[in-house]
Chains A and B, each alone.
Chain A
Amino acid sequence: MTKSAVEDLVCVGTVAGAFGVRGEVRLKSYCANPEDIELYSPLLTEDGSQSFPVVLTRSIKNGFAARLGGVETKDDADTLRGVSLFAPRDRLPALPEDEFYYSDLIGLEVLDTGGTSLGRVKDVQNHGAGDLLELQVPGQSATVLMPFTRAVVPTVDLEAGRLIADPPEGLF
C-alpha cells in the first residue's frame, strides 16, 4: 500500500480478543452507529499490510462477535488481540453540505479573517450544545474550544486544509 493511502485510513474499531473457540473475535466499534463497521469491510491494519473482510455474527457486551476473513482458529484470533482496524477514508459515504467527518476536520489549520493563524484543530467535541472545535493554539499548552457554526466558521476548505474563523469576543 502506498504511503498516501496509509495516511487516508480512519480507525473504526479494535479487536478486543478471541470470542469462543471457533475463530470468532470480539470487535469493538468506534463508529457513530456501531453496526456500520461492517459496511466498511474489508478492514485494514494500521500499516495496511493485512486486510480482513468482516462479518458481524452477534451483539455482545461491549461490542460484537465477528468473523474476520482468514481467521479460522482461536489461536489466530488471539494473535490479533489489540489490533486496531482501519477503513480507507474514501469508503466513508459522502456527506451533505455543512456536514463533515471529525477525521477530516482534525488537523486543519484555523485562520482568522485577516489570515492570522489561530491554531490547529486538535479534536471535535459535542456536549449537547452543538459541535465544538478544540484548537491547539501555537505557543500555549491549553486548548481553546470554538463553536462550529456558520457564523463562527464561515469557510471550511478541506482541499486547502484550512478553516476561516471569525471567533466571538472573549474566546481567546
Chain B
Amino acid sequence: MARSVWKGPFVDAYVLKKAEAARESGRNEVIKIWSRRSTILPQFVGLTFGVYNGQKHIPVNVSEDMIGQKFGEYSPTRTYYGHAADKKAKRK
C-alpha cells in the first residue's frame, strides 16, 4: 500500500543532519549511513553517501533522477560477479 502523500517522504533524522553538515562543510567526503529505508530528497543531489549493505558502505553519488527512491535500492546486499566481456564504464 502506498504511503499517504500528506505525511511527506520518510527520512531518518540523522541522515538529514549529516547531509546538512556535509553540505555546509563543503568537504569532499562520503556520508556513512545505515538507513536504507530513507527516501532520497532533492537536497541530497550532488552528495556521496556510503549506504550500508550489511557488510560495508557502498558509495552512492546522488543524482536528480534518484530523487524519491530509497537509498537501499542502490546498495545491493548480494554480490554477483559476472563476466566483464564488452561491458563499458563511463566516467561522469
Contact call B85/A169, Cβ cutoff below 8 A: no
In angstroms, Cα B88 to Cα A126, docked, is: 10
How far is the CB of A20 from the nearest CB of chain B, in Å? Answer: 26
Q: Which residues of B contact A131 (CB under 8 A)?
A: 89-91
Contact call A102/B87, Cβ cutoff below 8 A: yes
Which residue of chain A has the shortest Cβ distance to B84 in the bound complex? A102
Contact call A170/B92, Cβ cutoff below 8 A: no
Q: Which residues of B contact A31 (CB under 8 A)?
A: 85-87
Contact call B30/A32, Cβ cutoff below 8 A: no
How far is the CB of A154 from the nearest CB of chain B, in Å? Answer: 9
Contact call B82/A126, Cβ cutoff below 8 A: no
Which residue of chain B has the shortest Cβ distance to A168 in the bound complex? B28
Given pairs A30-B85, A31-B86, A99-B88, 11 additional interface contacts (CB within 8 A): A30-B82, A30-B83, A100-B91, A124-B84, A130-B61, A147-B61, A149-B61, A149-B91, A153-B91, A169-B30, A170-B50
Chain B interface residues toward A at CB < 8 A: 27-32, 48, 50, 56, 58-63, 66, 73-76, 79, 81-92
